[in-house]
Amino acid sequence: MGTGGATKLARRLPVGAEVLPGGGVHFRVWAPRRRRVEVVFEGEGAPEPLALEEEEGGYFKGLAEGLREGALYRFRLDGDEYLYPDPASRFQPEGPHKASRVVDPTRFLWTDEGWRGAPLKGQVVYELHVGAFTREGTLAAATRHLKELASLGVTCVELMPLAEFPGRFGWGYDGVCLYAPTRLYGEPDDLRRFVNEAHLNHVAVILDVVYNHLGPDGNYLAQFSEHYFTERYKTEWGDGLNYDGRDSAPVREFFLSNARYWVEEFHFDGLRLDATQSIKDDSEEHFLAALTREVRDAARGRATVIVGENEPQETHMIRAFGLDGLWNDDFHHAAMVALTGRSEAYYSDYKGTPQEFVSAAKYGFLYQGQRYKWQRHRRGTPTFGLAPQAFVNFIQNHDQVANSARGLRAHKLTSPGRLRAMTALLLLAPATPMLFMGQEFAASAPFHYFADHADEELAGKVRKGRAEFLAQFRSIATRETRTKLPDPAAPETFERCKLDHAERDSHREVYDLHRGLLRLRREDAVFSAQEPRSLDGAVLGPEAFVLRYFGVGGDDRLLVVNFGPDLNLNPAPEPLLAPPAGRVWKMVWSSEDYAYGGTGTPPLETKNNWCLPGETAVALAPADPARVGDPARGLDGPSEEEEVRDEALREWEEAG
């Protein structure tokens, strides 16, 4: 990658403060709109300000001999009284408005030398907000839960944004110091320790990063150069970032170096990219293609994961730019309509029907260029030829849980049986599944939008903007509901979102459901295969369907899902239900297992053909009929379960 006129001195980053192996700290900053830049040191015994030497291309550099890690500093620009933090600060101990701190990343002793990274295929992703994941809200506290997450079956933790932002709490999408892990969750070494411990537990870690905008408070980039931003492209959050206009090369370098930084200095296994549709670039090499190359190179042979959020569902993000996968909103929207029966706002173009789930399992996105009434234009692009793992499926994430009046999780919005069946579909489908923290034990804590801003005018705008966004839902647009929406700036709104991990025990049935499904996904060679074109499906009834996973040599699997009431398929002329030649189906997992809070599951295939219990998902595998019998043919007479059922039916009929 180019250095934009970098000094000949070997640096880890093109800009920022770097501790040199031989002693001293080297400073470098891009400030083309300034003629004079000084480093002003702070704290007891601080040295005199350091005047930086101007370089070609608007860069300034200088060496502070004898300076050590921990020194506090800011930049003075053209003699102004106001002092600014370093745009590439590695840490802001008092927040984005105060001094930057010199950090030496080489002092941390990594012990993950044997970790070889993690490709997207085979991953089970777990989205985590550090501040709300534990009562303490720190990286150190989160680290203590990694072993349990690994035991559950999680293979990849996705941390919501960590770049420094103002205030006492927030989601992190308004970060302004992109190289500084926020002081709210601990020291930079606490983040390194989290990643190191994850790798020792065979868990990958990827970071949610925001390269489409910066937050409105504490964003000082324009003081160094007005060319960080451009009016050519507008985003939902204001002017876009300048990746292709005048003086865009240093801007690209700044953000591409940031991507490298997280992989090199913190050993992250990849990135989740926020709102990629808002990253506009008309360069010969698109910024996202360059980012993908930088991340792969920074990993030095370790496998990496790059996943994008992309609301328009543009598959060229994978085909042309090299991303590994994209979030699949279509699956979520169809799932929530099936679970709740409600299709307001952006759920309007979904019915939650069996065909939608069959198509999602086979093709990923449901909208691949059809008209999307809610947006009044076509949505999506073709997915044909993409691997199943390229689609990240979820029924909860930070946005979708919070995009409601009460921030309620799915288990509060549907029946237990339906949710168990939907969870089975999520965790056994060939796409990459993602859980949102607390989902695995039906956390009682809601998840709201929260953002702390000291500026009351800005806090008011955030409050108003949030209410206007939620007003797209007819139920929330009512006066009664709008007056009761939680205040994003209220500390109690944030506090309510914190998880209680004791619920792993008190909600043990839900926790064991997830553990059992993830074990089946991990240990069953057919469910874990994620092979292209190895699955088909069929609609069985108004709310029922079957997915057939084709294994090697006829070692197939069935996942039969019924979100509706009991259904008797008699006759059952659906070829996908037929077992492999000479075999019969044997139940290997059921969402109605008593251990999961269910009431038990009788055999699906009977002398009366297929009987699908209501609100249930069942996984089946081929078996030898000599060992399990064949009730469909009646060779061994009725099973014990059928005898019990038939007797109960006779008593019921006799009783009138």
Active site residue 556: no
**Most distant CA atoms of the chain, gap in Å:** 99
Handedness of CA 222, 227, 231, 233 (dihedral sign): negative
Distance between first and last Cα of the chain: 81
Cα distance between residue 57 and residue 254, in whole Å:
14
Positive/negative CA dihedral, 149, 153, 156, 161:
negative
DSSP labels, 112-171: -TT--B--STT--EEEE-HHHHSSS-SHHHHHTTHHHHHHHT--EEEEPP-EE-SSS-B-
Is residue 87 helix, strand or coil? coil
Cis peptide before 312 (omega within 30 of 0): no
* CA pair distance 99, 95, nearest whole angstrom: 8
Print burial letters for 138-176: b (CB count within 10 Å at least 16), e (below 16): bbebbbebbeebbebbbbbbbbbbbbbbbbebbbbbbbb
**Residue from 309, 452, 503, 593 carrying the catalytic annotation:** 309
**Structure token digits, residue 433:** 């599944």
Burial 77-98 (b: 16+ CB within 10 A, else e): beeeeebbbbbbbbbbeebbbb
Q: Is 189 a catalytic residue?
A: no
Find, among 3, 10, 12, the residue nearest to 57 by Cα: 3
| 8 Å CB contact between 470 and 485 | yes
Query: By the 8 A CB rule, do 182 and 165 touch?
Result: yes
Computed from CA positions of residues 208, 107, 29, 167, in that sequence, does the dihedral angle turn out positive or negative? positive
Quick check: 338 and 401 in contact, CB under 8 A? no
Given 274, 330, 543, 592, which residue is catalytic? 274
- What residues are annotated to the active site? 274, 309
